[in-house]
Structure 1
Amino acid sequence: MTSARFPTKDAVLALIRSSATPVGKREIARAFKLSGSDHREQLKALLKELEADGAVERGRNKRMAPPQSLPDVAALEISGQDSDGELQARPLAWTGDGAPPRIFLPAPRGGGPALTVGDRLLAKLARINDRLYEARIIRRLEVSQDTRILGVYRPAPDGGRITPTDRRNKSEFVVLPPNRGEAEAGDLVLADLLPAGRLGQPQARVVERLGSTDEPRAISLIAIHSHGLPTVFPSAALREAALAGVPSLVGREDLRAIPFITIDGADARDFDDAVWAEPDGDPTNPDGWHLMVAIADVAYYVRPGSALDRAAYERGNSVYFPDRVVPMLPEALSNGLCSLRPNEDRACLAFHLWIDRHGVVIRHRLTRGLMRSAARLTYEQVQNCHEGRPDDDTGLLADGVIAPLYGAYARLWAARVRRGPLDLDLPERRVVVDARGRVGAITPRLRLDSHRLIEEFMIAANVAAAETLEARGMPALYRVHDQPSLDKMETLRTFLTGIGLPLPKAGEALTPDHFARILRRVDGTAVSQLVSEVILRAQAQAAYSPDNIGHFGLVLRRYAHFTSPIRRYADLIVHRGLIRALSVGVGGLDDAGLERLAETGDHLSSTERRAAAAERDAVDRFTAAHLADRIGARFAGRVSGVTRFGLFIRLDESGADGLIPISALADDRYEHDEAARALVGQRNGHRHRLGDAVTVVLVEADPLTGSTLFHLADGRSEQPGDSGI
C-alpha cells in the first residue's frame, strides 16, 4: 500500500487557518492520511517551523491555530448588538495586539434566558475567519467582585496603569493598548482582571469609563461601584412604574379631610409617612390621644413577582449619599405616586392608634385609604413652631395640627422612659454639598424633639403592625435585635471597669437599663461620646427574620418595619402580610413569599449592611475631599479606636475619622493591649488609650480612597485623667 504524499507547508497552514477550532497533530495527520513514524517526525518538525515563523500559535493541549486566535472554549462578556440586533461578545481574557476578533451569538433555539450587555458566559467558539467567531453558549457565569476593580486610569509608555480606589489593594494593574477602551488620563474606570503578563505584572481591561475623577460626582460613584449597588432599572420595571396611577376609593377609606402632615429633613428626597393626632374623645380614655400614622401604599403598585418587585428585591433598600440617592423604586413611584406630597391624592395604609394617659397604646386599627397631605414640613420648622416661632407654613397649623402631635408624643415619650430602651444619641455627620456637588461643610446633625416625635410615632406604628400580624396568625418578617454576646460583654466590662464604670458580673442578666444608667453617669463628661460608641460596638446587629426573638435595644417583644416601604423592601413585605391577613384588597403576600420569608430576611439583612457600608465609605471620601486642601493643619480630636496597626482619630470640629499609623509613633516601640484598648510603649511605658484627647496634624487626605492620615502634633496624646465621672 502506497503511503500518502507528505503535504507542503502551505497546505498544512491552509488547513489550520480554515479550521473552526484549534487543531492538533492527530487531526492534521488524519486529514492528510499520514501514518508511520517518519511522517510523525516530519509533521512535528513542520509545525515547529510554522510556529517559529509566527504563522501559527500553540495553545491549549498543544493545539495549533492562527496567531492571536481564540480557544475553542472561552469566557465571554456580552458587549452589545449589531445593526441587525444580533448579540456581540468579547473575550474576557485577551492579551493580543490590537482589538480582539469579533464574536457573534446566534439566537438560541427554542428561546432561552435573555442576555444583556455585561452578562458573562462560557461558550464554545467556532472560527469563521481570522477576525470573526461564532459562539454557542455552554452556561452563564456569575460576575464576581473579586474579578473586577474600580480605579483611576493613567497613561504609560506601554499602554496604561490602573490604581485601585480600594486603599487595601496596593497593586497597580497594567492596561495594554487593546484593553484601554475609551479611558483617558484621570478617568475613573471599571476594569476586569486578566491573567498576568509574561513579566508577572497583573493586567486589567477597562470595561466601563465612569467619568473624570475631577468631577465631584466621582466620590459617590466610587462607593456605588465598590459595593456593587444596582443603579439601572430594567425597562420592564420602568414601564410598570410609568403606567401606574392613583387608585379609586373603591375598597378604601376616604382620609382626605384629615390634615396629615409630613415631617422630614430639609434634604429629604421622599416622603412616605404622614402623621396627625387629636385628643381622644372617648370618656373611657381620659387624657388619652388618637394618633394616625399614614404610610404610602407601595404594595398597591409593586405586586409580587412583577418586574418592579424583582428590581426592588435585588436592591433591598434605597441608599443615600450626600449628592444623590440610589432608590429602591423608580422615580415615578419613589418621588411620585408613593411620595406623600402636599395637596395630592395618595394611596396609603394608615394605623389608628389610641394612647392612654400613661403612653400605652391600648388599641389600634389598620385601614387602607386615600389621603391628602396638608403640608410638607421640616423638623426645624415644626420645632420652631412648637417653641413659639411659627413661619408662614406652620402658622395656620400651630394649634390644630402641630400642638396635638406634641401632646401625643409627650405620652409616648413618658412610656419610653419607663421602658428604658438603649438610647445611644451619637452625633451623625452631615455632609453639605453645593449645586456643583462640592463639599461646602461637614456639620453634626441636630437632634430635636421633632425628630424624636416622629421616631416614637413610627415605633408605635411598627409595633402595631407586628401585633396585628401575630394576632391574625400571619407569619411576618420581624425586625429583631438579640442581646449582646458574652464575649462582647466581657470586653466591654473590662473597658468600663478601667474607667470606673462597673457592669453587672458575668452571668447576671443584662438589660438596656444597665447601659442607660452608665450613659447617664457619663452625660456631659469628656468620655460621654466614647462610652456611647463602645457600648454600641458591643451590641448585636439588628436583622430581619421570621423568627421573633424580640428587640433588645428597644425593649419590645414584637417589632416589624412598617413605615418606609418606599426605601425598605422589608416594610413592603410587612404591608403585604397585613393586606393578606386583613383581606383589604390586592397586593397581598402570596404563598411563594410566605415560603421564602427566612431567605428574604437574610437577603435584606445583607443589602442593608451593604448600603450602610457604601454610605459610610462615601462620607469618608467626601470628608477627605473637604480636608484635602488643609494638609499640615492642626486639629483637636480624640482616639476613637485602637488597633495593632495604629490609632483611629475623630476630629472634634467635623467628626472626620482618620488613622495615625503605628509606624508614625516614632518615640517608642508600641504594642497593642487589646483588653486595655491601648497602645503601650515598651521603653517609656506611655499609653495611647481609647478616649485620649489629642492634637494631630493632617498629613494625607485622598478623596479617591477615603484615606485620611494624621500624625500626633507633639508625639504624645493627652491622658484623660479625671473624666468627671
Structure 2
Amino acid sequence: MPSREALRRYLREAQGRPGKSEIARHFGLTSEQRPALRELLKALEREGALFQAGRKPQPAGRLPEMAPVEVFGTDADGEPLARPLAWEGGGRAPLVYMRPERPGQPALAPGERVVARLKPIGPGRYEGRTFKRLGMGAAARLLGVYRDGRLQPTDKRARAEWSVAPEDSLDAVDGELVLAEPLPGRPFGLSPARITERLGPMDAPRAVSLLCIHAHRIPDSFDQAALDEAAAAQPVDLTGRTDLRDLPLVTIDGEDARDFDDAVWAEPEGQGWKLVVAIADVAHYVRPGSALDRAAWGRGNSVYFPDRVVPMLPEALSNGLCSLRPGEERGCLFVEMRFDAQGQKQAHRFGRGLMRSAARLTYEEVQATRTPGAPQTAVAAQIEHLYGAFAVLQAARERRGTLDLDLPERRVVMDAEGEVRDVLPRARLDSHRLIEEFMVAANVCAAEELERLRQPCLYRVHDRPSDEKLEALRQFLDSLELDLPAAGELRPRHFAALLDRMRERPEARLLHETVLRAQSQAAYSPENVGHFGLALSRYAHFTSPIRRYADLVVHRALVRGLKLGEDGLQDAEIERLPDTAEHITRTERRAAAAEREALERYLTRHMASRVGSIFAARISGVTRFGLFVTVEENGAGGLVPSSSLPDDQWTYEEAEHRLSGRSTRLAFTLGQAVEVRLAEAVPLTGGLRFQLLEGLAPAPGARRSRVRRAPPKKTASKSKQGAAGRGPERR
C-alpha cells in the first residue's frame, strides 16, 4: 500500500480526478488490497485531499471558488467560522464566514469539515456555503473560562460566548479554566456547551502554559504501559560498545536544563582538530512498536514553556537513564570527526559507546573561561580546545555563506510562585554558537553516513524561498534601495550580504524579520532537497533524540546500517517514513505555535499592570484595519486599530506596506519608529491594544514618533470604517 503522503502527492500531480482503478494500477495494487485502498481514500476525503486532486493552481494568496474548510468557532452572531484545510499563501489562513446553503440546514459544529463554495468579501475574508459535508476532523472542543453560566473563549478569534446549563457545568466555579464540547444549537440566543474537564483557576500563575497545552492539543500525560516500560529500564553495560569512559566529554546547556542529550570533546591533531560528539542512546530504550515508541511518535517532540516542559519521553528516561549526567555511566551513539586547519572535514566514523560525562557546564560558565584572569583548570583547558575546533568550523561556515538571522529571543523571568517578574532578551554568546556548530557538523555526518550505507534517512530539509515570497521581499527591499540576484542565482550568502549592509541602520531588525518571513519553513522528509539556510546539500537531525523523534529515527537507521544491535530501523518503519515525516513536521509546528502563544500571553500578563504607559515601538505590520506594533523594550506586540488613527480616509498600499491618509497626508509604513500608549491588555486572550501618540511629549527614554507625510495620490481611498470590515484579526 502507498503511504498517505505518497497518495496525496499522486493526487496533487494527477491530471483530472483519477478513479480507484487508476490509482490501483499506478501503485500496482492487487484486488486483495482494494478494501485497504478504499479506507485510505475515505480518510483522505475527510481531510479534503480528494477534492483538491487535479485542481488548477490558484494565484498566491487566493482561495479557489470551492475548497474544503474546517469550522473552528462562531462569530458574534453565532454563525460558524472556518478556515481552509489547505493554505499555501503567506501569513494566517483566510477566515471563512459560513452561511446556510438553504433554510433549515443543520448548523455546523466546531471541528466539522465541509467542501464550501467561496466568495471573497474583503481582504483575507470569504463567505462560504456548504456544498458537501466531509465529517468531523479533530474532536470538537472548546477552551474557555466559566463565568456565571457562560463560557468565555480564550481564543481571540472566537468572539461569541457559549451558554452552560447548571446540569452541564460539572460544578465549575466562576473564573475557572475549563474544557467543553458544543451541544446541538438553538435557533436563538447563545449556543449551548457542556463542560467536560475543569483545569483550575484562570488567574493561577501557571495557568498560561496549561491553557496553551490544551489549546494546541498537546498530549501531556503518558499511558500506564509507557510509564511501566520506562520504569523497568536498566543501565547499559559495555557489551558491544566502545569504551569512552576515560574521554573527558562535557555537556554544555542552559542554566535551567534538566536533560542532557549531547556531550562534546576536542583536541588538536597536527594542523587540524579531532572532535567527538556523543549523543544519548535513546534507541536502546525506545524500541520500535513499544508503548514508549507509540507515545514518543504521537508527541513528536518535547514542548518547552517558561514554567514547565512537556517531554517526549517519561521522566525516568528523559531526566534519568537517557540524560548524560556528570559522573554517571550512560550509553551513547557517537561520531568522531577530523577537520583540517581550514575546517574541511577529512573523515568521520560512528559507533555505539559507553561514556561518563566529566562535567555539566552552562553556556555562561563556558563563556566565563574566555575572560582575562579566568582560573586555568583542567576543564578550562578542555574548553580552550573546544574553542579551537569551533574557530575552524566557524571559518568554514563563513566561507560557505549561510543565512544567519539575528533575531532577539526573549525569556520569561518568574518568581518562586510562578508570577512573571520580567521579560528580557536572551543573551547570544559564542558558547551557544560553539555547540550549534558542533551539532551541525555531527548532523551532516549522519546524513552522509546513511547515504554511504544506502539506508533510508529522515532529512531535515529547507527549500529555497518561493517565487511569490521572493517577489514580496523584493518590493520591500526596493523601499530600502536594496536588491537580490535572480531566483536561479540566489544563495544564502546574498541574504547575508544584505543583512551586513544594513547592520548599523535602524531598519536592521525589521530586515531580519522580513527576510525570515520570506523563507520556506524547514521540514522533515525522506527525500532530500538540501538545507538552503545552512547552505548544505545534506542534513539530518541526529543530536537530540531525548526531545525529537526525528533524531531517534536517524539513530535507528545508523544502528541498522552499521549493524550495531537488534534495535535498528524496522522495515515497517521504513514504509511509513513519509507519514512519520509529515506527522513530526506537524507536531514541531504545533509545539512552536504553543511556545510562541505562551510567551505572548505571559507578556500580556506582565503588561496588564502597565496599561496607560507610553512605549517606544516600531511598526511591524500594516493592514487595512490598523497597524501592528512591537514594543522595543520587551518585544510585546499588539494592534493600533484604524479607528484610533486621526480622522481621515485611509488607503492601504500593499506593495509599499503603507497606510496613508487622504486629507492629513499622514503615512504609516513598515519599520517606522513610533510612540504608543498601552490602552488595553486582555490576559484571557493574550491581546494588547495600543494608541498611537502624535504631538505628545515622549516618555523618558522613548523615541519621538516620526510620522511621515504621504505624497498626494490620485487613487481611490477607503474610509477607516470601511477598511476595518467585520473587525480586525491579529496575524
Verify same fold: TM over 0.5. yes
8 Å Cα contact 1:300/1:586 also seen in 2? no
1:354 corresponds to which residue? 338
Q: What's the secondary structure of 1:224's corresponding residue?
A: helix
Alpha-carbon spacing, 1:720–1:512, altered in 2? closer, same or farther (3 Å): farther
Q: Deviations over 1:441-467 (max 9, x none)?
A: 111111111000000000000000000
2:144 corresponds to which residue? 151
Alpha-carbon spacing, 1:390–1:474, altered in 2? closer, same or farther (3 Å): same
1:302 matched to 2:286: yes
TM-fit CA distance, 1:661:
1.5
Q: What's the secondary structure of 1:641's corresponding residue?
A: strand
Question: Matched residues in 2 for 1:305 and 1:720: separation?
Answer: 63
1:398 corresponds to which residue? 380
Question: Matched residues in 2 for 1:220 and 1:644: separation?
Answer: 32
1:325 matched to 2:309: yes
Q: Deviations over 1:686-705 (max 9, x none)?
A: 21111000111001112221
TM-fit CA distance, 1:199:
3.0
1:478-627 alignment, distance < 5 Å: 478-504=459-485, 506-627=486-607
TM-fit CA distance, 1:524:
2.1
Question: Matched residues in 2 for 1:186 and 1:145: separation?
Answer: 27
Structure with max Cα Rg: 1
Question: Matched residues in 2 for 1:574 and 1:248: separation?
Answer: 22
1:292 corresponds to which residue? 276
Residue identity in the other structure for 2:564 = V
2:80 corresponds to which residue? none
Equivalent residue in structure 2 for 1:223, among 205, 212, 215: 212
Q: What's the secondary structure of 1:147's corresponding residue?
A: coil
TM-fit CA distance, 1:685:
2.8
8 Å Cα contact 1:252/1:368 also seen in 2? yes
Equivalent residue in structure 1 for 2:366, among 376, 379, 382: 382
TM-fit CA distance, 1:684:
2.5
1:628 corresponds to which residue? 608
Question: Matched residues in 2 for 1:601 and 1:306: separation?
Answer: 19
Moved more, 685-694 or 506-515: 506-515
Residue identity in the other structure for 2:638 = G
8 Å Cα contact 1:546/1:597 also seen in 2? yes
1:131 corresponds to which residue? none
Q: Deviations over 1:334-380 (max 9, x none)?
A: 11111111111111001101011000111101110111111111111
Residue identity in the other structure for 1:513 = R
Q: Deviations over 1:390-438 (max 9, x none)?
A: 47xx844111x10000000000000000000001011011111111111
1:718 matched to 2:730: no
8 Å Cα contact 1:688/1:717 also seen in 2? no
8 Å Cα contact 2:666/2:707 also seen in 1? no
2:256 corresponds to which residue? 267
Question: Matched residues in 1 for 2:600 and 2:417: separation?
Answer: 19
Question: Matched residues in 2 for 1:513 and 1:268: separation?
Answer: 33
Aligned CA RMSD, in angstroms, stands at 1.8
Moved more, 206-215 or 507-516: 507-516
Question: Matched residues in 2 for 1:450 and 1:484: separation?
Answer: 30
Q: Deviations over 1:65-107 (max 9, x none)?
A: xxxxxxxxxxxxxxxxxxxxxxxxxxxxxxxxxxxxxxxxxxx
TM-fit CA distance, 1:497:
1.1
1:82 corresponds to which residue? none
TM-fit CA distance, 1:568:
0.5
Residue identity in the other structure for 1:326 = V
Q: What's the secondary structure of 1:152's corresponding residue?
A: strand
Question: Matched residues in 1 for 2:373 and 2:311: separation?
Answer: 35
Figure out how many residues of one structure are paired with residues of the other and give that number: 569
1:707 matched to 2:695: no
TM-fit CA distance, 1:586:
3.0
8 Å Cα contact 2:332/2:352 also seen in 1? yes
Moved more, 709-718 or 631-640: 709-718
Alpha-carbon spacing, 1:574–1:205, altered in 2? closer, same or farther (3 Å): same
TM-fit CA distance, 1:717:
4.5
TM-fit CA distance, 1:630:
0.5
Question: Matched residues in 2 for 1:431 and 1:645: separation?
Answer: 31
TM-fit CA distance, 1:511:
0.6
1:423 corresponds to which residue? 404
2:163 corresponds to which residue? 174
Q: What's the secondary structure of 1:386's corresponding residue?
A: coil
Q: Deviations over 1:279-338 (max 9, x none)?
A: 11xxxxx31100010110000000000000000000000000011011100001111111
8 Å Cα contact 1:147/1:192 also seen in 2? yes
2:418 corresponds to which residue? 437
1:61 corresponds to which residue? none
Alpha-carbon spacing, 1:143–1:279, altered in 2? closer, same or farther (3 Å): farther
Question: Matched residues in 1 for 2:596 and 2:474: separation?
Answer: 28
1:86 corresponds to which residue? none
1:255 matched to 2:244: yes
8 Å Cα contact 2:302/2:548 also seen in 1? yes
Equivalent residue in structure 2 for 1:195, among 184, 187, 191: 184
1:466 matched to 2:447: yes
1:656 corresponds to which residue? 636
8 Å Cα contact 2:667/2:708 also seen in 1? no
Alpha-carbon spacing, 1:191–1:416, altered in 2? closer, same or farther (3 Å): same
Residue identity in the other structure for 1:367 = G
TM-fit CA distance, 1:719:
4.9
Q: What's the secondary structure of 2:368's corresponding residue?
A: helix
Overall identity of the aligned pairs, in %? 59
Q: What's the secondary structure of 2:489's corresponding residue?
A: coil
Residue identity in the other structure for 1:483 = R
1:243 corresponds to which residue? 232
2:116 corresponds to which residue? none
Stretches of structure 1 that go unaligned for 5 or more consecutive residues are 1-119, 121-140, 281-285
1:69-218 alignment, distance < 5 Å: 145=138, 147-155=140-148, 160-197=149-186, 199-218=188-207
Stretches of structure 2 that go unaligned for 5 or more consecutive residues are 1-110, 112-133, 696-703, 710-731
Question: Matched residues in 2 for 1:368 and 1:388: separation?
Answer: 39
Question: Matched residues in 1 for 2:504 and 2:189: separation?
Answer: 58
Question: Matched residues in 1 for 2:136 and 2:276: separation?
Answer: 46
TM-fit CA distance, 1:142:
9.7
Alpha-carbon spacing, 1:360–1:467, altered in 2? closer, same or farther (3 Å): same
1:690 matched to 2:658: no
Question: Matched residues in 2 for 1:255 and 1:618: separation?
Answer: 41
2:46 corresponds to which residue? none
8 Å Cα contact 2:666/2:708 also seen in 1? no
Residue identity in the other structure for 1:239 = D
Q: Deviations over 1:523-550 (max 9, x none)?
A: 1221111000000000011100011010
TM-score, normalised to structure 2, is 0.76
Residue identity in the other structure for 1:309 = D
Q: Deviations over 1:636-683 (max 9, x none)?
A: 011112222221111111111111112221332323211111212232
